[in-house]
Amino acid sequence: MGKSIRSKGQRKNRALRREMIHKPKEEERLNRLVENEVVETKQQEQISVDTEKMETEPKILSKKQKEMLLMSPDSCLNGPKITGCRNVDLYEKLNRIEEGSYGIVYRAKEKSTGRIFALKKLKLEKEKDGFPITSIREIHTLKLIKHPNVVEIIEICTTSNFNHIFIVMEYLEHDLKTLMENMAEPFLLSETKTLMLQLLSAVDCLHNNWIIHRDLKTSNLLMNNRGQIKVADFGLARRFGSPMGEVTQLVVTLWYRSPELLLGATTYSTEIDLWSIGCIFAELIDNSPLLPGKGEIDQLSKIFQLLGTPNETSWPGYYDLPNTRTVNFANQPNNNLTSKFAYLSPLGLDLLNKFLTYDPQKRITASEAMEHPFFKESPLPKPSELFPSFPSKASGERKRYHSPQI
């Protein structure tokens, strides 16, 4: 039965393609679809290749559709257009910065201007039959976001045969994970405050635009040598293929994952990003990951050890979550944050606790966090122009340790 459904779907797909070639109106219809759903939140982890749904809600595009969408200067109706894609040959690759699970990132020079950019080559192996339209929407959404702490997407490039897609972004010298691994001492509290305010401001902007990042962690926060961090890696590439075997555990990290996700909540929202921000805050203070779990159960167990086992009082609805019945944890009644971060001021601890609040409804929002009095007590956030600069591993500079001056 599955087979006949699929072949029916394929017939529709072909018919749609034929139609598109003959009817420019169809292209318009497609563009409207893109436009209408452009502010979709990132609820879908995987894109399912389901040709049956093509007629009503195309999830993937055929090669022809892909060409039309990418090459037509009128692909989207409003806002910045996904205009005709330029050829990636206009850039000269300088060095490979990182090979992640979903794409390879290069440092590259635009040949005509000599300007340096980062190029992320998306892995498309799993999408031989079409280009996932949800990714186009997501790229489009990100192009709409202009914020000093969100990495700017410049353009999308392709190879002449369309086999590879590259996202061209502004280049930043560091990611926070690599940088922190090479720092002898953690960031100063004044620096941490500045970085946190920047992160919160970026995430507040995303949330106001109905975008949940879902993968906030230090390796997805880029930093330049002017004391600025920028949120990157919006899972753009995640929709294109599965993670590569061995590196999966390392890259798709659980460490920043909220307890509601770990416990199988089917509905979640922007609060999951605030949990991750809490973990990042603690990591910035301590210079080591807060909750480095080795698997989902271990992750939950580490959370409960640190914050106490949740119950109906601390988290109304806790027992309704799918996984609370299947896993049993010994009761641990204490919140140990105060003893772990004994040197942090009461206001700092208060903010940390507000990020790491079990009940997503009670967890602090990004805009509330920016107003927290912790940021107004001494030491005050350090102006970003006073940040030290660091040797950039991504540019192939030698590692040197940072000794804070102030």
Ligand X SMILES: Nc1ncnc2c1ncn2[C@@H]1O[C@H](COP(=O)(O)OP(=O)(O)O)[C@@H](O)[C@H]1O
Stretch of 87-95, 130-138, 205-213, 215-223 contacting ligand X, by CB under 6 A: 215-223
Closest to Mg ion by CB, 220 vs 258, is: 220
- Per CB under 5 A, does 175 bind Mg ion? no
Q: Which is nearer to ligand X, 120 or 363 (CB)?
A: 120
Binding of Mg ion by 283 (CB under 5 A): no
Of 127 and 233, nearer to Mg ion (C-beta) is 233
Shortest distance (Å) from residue 180 CB to ligand X? 12
Stretch of 150-158, 228-236, 297-305, 369-377 contacting Mg ion, by CB under 5 A: 228-236
Instruction: Say whether residue 101 binds ligand X (CB under 6 A).
Output: yes
Q: How far apart are the C-alpha atoms of 142 and 144, rounded to whole Å?
A: 5
Please tell me whether the peptide bond between 379 and the residue prior to it is cis, using omega within 30 degrees of 0: yes
Residue 107 parent element (H or E): strand 103-110
Nearer to Mg ion, 54 or 215 (CB): 215
- Give min distance, CB of 153 to ligand X, in A: 9
> Which C-beta is closer to Mg ion: that of 100 or that of 132?
100
Q: Which residue, 51 or 220, has its beta carbon nearer to Mg ion?
A: 220
To 5 degrees, how large is the angle CA 162–CA 233–CA 88?
30
Consecutive H or E run containing 119? strand 116-122
Is 118 a binding residue for ligand X by CB under 6 A? The answer is yes
Q: Does 105 bind ligand X (CB under 6 A)?
A: yes
Using the contact rule CB under 6 A, the part of the chain among 101-109, 254-262, 360-368, 382-390 near ligand X is 101-109
* Sequence-ordered alpha helix ranges (H) in 113-186: 133-144, 176-181
Choice between 148 and 373, CB closer to ligand X: 148
Q: Which of residues 272-311 bind ligand X (CB under 6 A)?
A: none
In 190-332, at which residue ranges do the beta strands (DSSP E only) sit? 221-223, 229-231
Residue 105 beta carbon to ligand X: minimum distance, rounded to whole angstroms: 4
Is residue 237 involved in binding ligand X (CB under 6 A)? yes
Q: Which residue is it, tokens 């020079």?
A: 109
CB 195 within 8 A of CB 229: yes
State both tokens at 29: 């219809």
| Six token digits for residue 252 | 């798709």
Can you tell me which of 34, 97, 133, 282 binds ligand X, judged by CB under 6 A? Answer: 97
- Contact residue for Mg ion among 127, 204, 233, 260 (CB under 5 A): 233
Q: Which residues neighbour 349 within 8 Å (Cβ) at sequence distance 6 or greater?
A: 337, 338, 341
Q: Let me know: does 323 contact 372? Beta carbons within 8 Å.
A: no
Stretch that binds ligand X, among 163-171, 326-334, 355-363, 368-376 (CB under 6 A): 163-171
Which of 58, 100, 289, 360 contacts ligand X by CB under 6 A?
100
Sequence-separated (6 or more) residues with CB below 8 Å from residue 329: 300, 301, 304, 309
- Of 34, 130, 41, 44, nearest to 82 by C-alpha is 34
8 Å CB contact between 308 and 334: yes
- Give the nearest distance from C-beta 137 to Mg ion in angstroms: 20
Among the listed residues 108, 145, 168, 394, the single contact to ligand X using CB under 6 A: 394
Burial 138-167 (b: 16+ CB within 10 A, else e): bbbbbbebebebbbbbbbbbbeeeeeebbb
- CA dist 291 and 171 (Å) reads 30
Active site residue 175: no
Among residues 51, 60, 82, 103, the one that binds ligand X under rule CB under 6 A: 103
Residue 205 and residue 380: Cα distance in Å, rounded? 23
Residues 164-183, mask of contacts with ligand X (x by CB under 6 A): -----xxxx--x--------
Piece in contact with ligand X (CB under 6 A), picked from 99-107, 256-264, 332-340, 361-369 = 99-107
Q: Which residues bind ligand X (CB under 6 A)?
A: 97-98, 100-103, 105, 118, 120, 151, 169-172, 175, 219-220, 222, 232-233, 237, 251, 394
Cite the active site residues: 215
Q: Which residues bind Mg ion (CB under 5 A)?
A: 220, 233
